[in-house]
Structure 1
Amino acid sequence: MPLITLRQLLDYAADQGFGVPAFNISNMEQGLAIMNAARACDAPVILQASLNVRRAYAGDRMIVAIVNALASMYPDNPICLHQDHGHDEQACVSAIAAGFTSAMMDGSLMGDGKTPASYAHNVDITARVAQIAHWTGASIEGELGVLGSLETGEAGEEDGSGAEGKLDHDQLLTDPDQAAEFVAATKVDALAIACGTSHGAYKFTREPDGDILAISQIEAIHRRVPNTHLVMHGSSSVPQGLQDLINASGGEMPQTWGVPVEEIERGIRHGVRKINIDTDCRMAMSGAMRRFSRDNPSNFDPRAFILAGMAELETLVRDRFERFGVAGHGRKIKPIPVAEMAKRYADGGLDPSRKAA
């Protein structure tokens, strides 16, 4: 099956009322585990890669080759390949040229991925990248507000993306009226919003409540832009069971709290269509590999370690597909060619302020 665009998948998800987990991958093994879960659940998939993975770990040719191979191996499970957190034109355009069907133009930060950008800069660069992407039929996700903690005013860093310094409370919460202006000005296909989530494992120092995780802000944004597909970043749940697994197997992970799955489900009921998950996947694989090493000290076959990690990751991914409502929809989605998506953009049928034509 050919890769599909983010816009096609999220339009379908909005019509059906579910949210799609977006899993970051770095290698073949993660991809296989995620797709095994997708096949078991009959789910469509968003696989995404960071700039660090593209530039310093696997490279574009390897990531695109892996994902295209997965698309042929799992023909009943549509896949969108998404570039996560591009902070300049080159990051997004090069991803699309390499074969990604979607990219995130995160103009909330400057090109260094660290310095908060002005609203004017964000609108200007995101609109330009969206126009280029739409000429080809690819999708663009934008971001308004700065991802970071409402507890500390600081952002977690993940794969080269994360604001430095203290952030104002207003920066950490996306304004609903400004969200409407931003979507209209940029024509993004999806909008990542800030509501108190952050990258990495150490999101909250206590179980989050409404003071430090503002799901109510998502509800307000959805009321203002009801046809815009919203995105939650930093949405790993950091399960207690995986923390315990890591620490029981030789790890030293301090107690921490992530985003409760129940709160993500609440967000899905109010317009969240894409949910980014990376830390949970890392914890699942590394925890299971640590346990295997502890329990099998004489084994030196790396495949055995990796297979143990893949099994734990598959279990996690299946849970998210089922909890977010994605299960059972894979075979129902018929891919729209990217060239056809380009024509729909040109004809004005994919305006983000209303449902797709």
Structure 2
Amino acid sequence: MPLVTSTEMFKKAYDGGYAIGAFNVNNMEIVQGITEAAKDLNAPLILQVSKGARAYANHTYLIKLVEAAVIETGLPIVLHLDHGDSFETCKSCIDGGFTSVMIDASSKPFAENIEITRKVVEYAHDHGVVVEAELGALAGVEDEVNVSAENSSYTRPEEVQEFVSKTGCDSLAIAIGTSHGAYKFKPGTKPQLRFDILEEVSKRLPGFPIVLHGSSSVPQEYVKMINDNGGNMPGAIGVPEDQLRHAASLSVCKINIDSDLRLAMTGTIRQFFAEHPDKFDPREYLKPARANIKELVKHKITDVLGCAGKA
């Protein structure tokens, strides 16, 4: 099976009231952990690559790792560019074999966001590739994304119809209170997503797939593993999983997960070296890290996304 686009995947997810996990990948062990979990649960999958991941691991290596995952699992897998920051970056990924790209011009004025997004959409559609766009700005820091709380903004539902119709984008990332990174909310606060905005957007865009970025839940067991073994992550708080489940039951068809993977890998490796300070074989500490990524992804697919058995 070749790499696929998200078109049919999102249609089924929208109609079925579940979401597809979009997991960021940076190396072989992360790809293996994610795809082994999805294979065990027969779940559709989006593997996404950021600009930072392409700089770190090289475009060609990442493409081949994902192609290997398709061969090994037989699953429908989308290869997606996460937060493409320019037409040139998106074009490079389209020309290089990606089946989906995101153009993030959300920091630009509304008219300029439309102009840039439409340019990417025209090129992508000519090459059989789908496009995700963003309207509204999420706070937080992750890879190339760095938006202060002061510069963040909720999506304005009254703008979504014009934006989608003028750009021709295939899915839309909106801002309803999620944020990038592990430090999403102040300690002691109770995070609450703006479901009123999501519901209003859904009314204005019936049947249209919505995307949530910044949706890691920051599992505290891995934060504790990091802090117990030399780390310093006080007050790391994520999005409550019950709210993500509710979003997946509505019009949200794609939920992005990155920070949780990093926490699982880093926490496992820190604990391994604390328990085995004399070890130095990368295979010995990357194997349990891969296993914990697999367990984390299984949990997300089964208990949060609801897409087990939907491949």
Structure 1 length-normalised TM: 0.84
Question: Is 1:172–2:153 an aligned residue pair?
Answer: yes
Question: Is 1:198–2:185 an aligned residue pair?
Answer: no
Whole-Å separation in 2 of the counterparts to 1:252 and 1:85: 28
Whole-Å separation in 2 of the counterparts to 1:174 and 1:29: 35
The structural deviation recorded for 1:80 is: 0.3
SS of the counterpart of 2:142? Answer: coil
- Written as runs of structure 1 = structure 2, the 5 A alignment for 1:302-317 is 302-317=282-297
The structural deviation recorded for 1:215 is: 2.8
Deviations 1:192-225 (A, max 9, x none): 0011211111000136547x53233212211221
Question: Is 1:59–2:43 an aligned residue pair?
Answer: no
SS of the counterpart of 2:244? Answer: helix
> Which residue in the other structure is 1:141 paired with?
132
SS of the counterpart of 1:128? Answer: helix
Deviations 1:218-266 (A, max 9, x none): 1221122121100000000011222112112221111221101111111
Read off the aligned partner of 1:328 and give its amino acid letter. G
> Which residue in the other structure is 2:265 paired with?
285
> Which residue in the other structure is 1:161 paired with?
145
Q: CA contact under 8 A between 1:22 and 1:45: conserved in structure 2?
A: yes
Read off the aligned partner of 1:90 and give its amino acid letter. E
Whole-Å separation in 2 of the counterparts to 1:165 and 1:244: 26
Whole-Å separation in 2 of the counterparts to 1:190 and 1:285: 30
Question: Is 1:237–2:235 an aligned residue pair?
Answer: no
Question: Is 1:129–2:109 an aligned residue pair?
Answer: no
> Which residue in the other structure is 2:200 paired with?
220
SS of the counterpart of 1:162? Answer: strand
The structural deviation recorded for 1:165 is: 7.5
Given candidates 290, 300, 314, the residue that maps to 2:280 is 300
The structural deviation recorded for 1:73 is: 1.0
- Written as runs of structure 1 = structure 2, the 5 A alignment for 1:323-338 is 323=303, 324-330=305-311
Question: Structure 1 residues 208, 146: closer, same or farther in 2, change over 3 A?
Answer: same
Q: CA contact under 8 A between 1:147 and 1:162: conserved in structure 2?
A: no
Read off the aligned partner of 1:82 and give its amino acid letter. H
> Which residue in the other structure is 2:71 paired with?
72
> Which residue in the other structure is 2:165 paired with?
184
Structure 2 length-normalised TM: 0.96
Q: Which runs of 5 or more residues in structure 2 are unaligned?
A: none
The structural deviation recorded for 1:60 is: 0.9
Read off the aligned partner of 1:64 and give its amino acid letter. I
Read off the aligned partner of 2:82 and give its amino acid letter. D
Read off the aligned partner of 1:131 and give its amino acid letter. E
Deviations 1:54-107 (A, max 9, x none): 1x21111111011111111111x1110000001110111110111110000111
Q: CA contact under 8 A between 2:26 and 2:49: conserved in structure 1?
A: yes
Whole-Å separation in 1 of the counterparts to 2:35 and 2:264: 16
The structural deviation recorded for 1:268 is: 1.3
Question: Structure 1 residues 208, 230: closer, same or farther in 2, change over 3 A?
Answer: farther
> Which residue in the other structure is 1:353 paired with?
none
Q: Percent identity?
A: 41
> Which residue in the other structure is 1:345 paired with?
none
Whole-Å separation in 1 of the counterparts to 2:188 and 2:169: 33
Q: CA contact under 8 A between 2:17 and 2:250: conserved in structure 1?
A: no
Q: CA contact under 8 A between 1:207 and 1:257: conserved in structure 2?
A: no
Whole-Å separation in 1 of the counterparts to 2:79 and 2:244: 22
SS of the counterpart of 2:162? Answer: helix
Read off the aligned partner of 1:39 and give its amino acid letter. K
- Give the 4+ runs in structure 1 shifted more than 3 A: 206-210
